[in-house]
Structure 1
């Protein structure tokens, strides 16, 4: 009994909470506490006392968190695939429509593609000017005049 509640219910609640937190965070942290609670639930169901249940919970959760989590994170790590946007950074481009940050206008052509553009220093850049792409913010290319 934990605070007058059957420990089986407590461990089931810990399992549900651990799985729910993991589902929301996807950090591979809370799931190990849910697994530890499963082993504590087994211990409670075979009649082990509360101190043994807590010890089993802490040991399994800690060992899994320390030993298995790094392996799983490495195995499940997603590779950061370069996108079209990554390729244009540092590349030269031609201004197709005058870039005016105050009017929120501007368009460049780079690698044959049209991009909405803004100047890095809020300067006006006329149509036909050569620019260099400095960064990408959202769907806009940030450029500086060459």
Structure 2
């Protein structure tokens, strides 16, 4: 297999990352398999992600229930921790208590306030590995 050289620069000279670094935010997705070995067969598991609008105008949170594949889309206007927590809090407060047992996030900076949601609604939270956001989806057997 031949690797192709990267064309151009990823960032211009003098580029400084101003958004901060999230790193590993919480428990690994691999811990989820130990804590909930049969989560694929229960109606309880949400996969969460954010989608940014064109030219960074607006954003939405997508919540997908793993077993039924029901998708909930919350319009959050802005991809920030405060907006994500506010809208998740509003939506979860309208649901039955203990309806959802766990949420799996990618390691986006917008999910750094996960502890507030997890503690308030008693929901286990797990995170994909750093730089592997596609890990939240697991192939159904």
Considering the TM-score relative to the shorter chain, is it more than 0.5? no
Q: When you count strand as a share of all residues, which structure comes out higher?
A: 1
TM-score normalised per structure 2 = 0.21
Larger Rg: 1
Bigger relative contact order (CA 8 A; separation at least 6): 2
Q: TM-score, normalised by structure 1?
A: 0.21
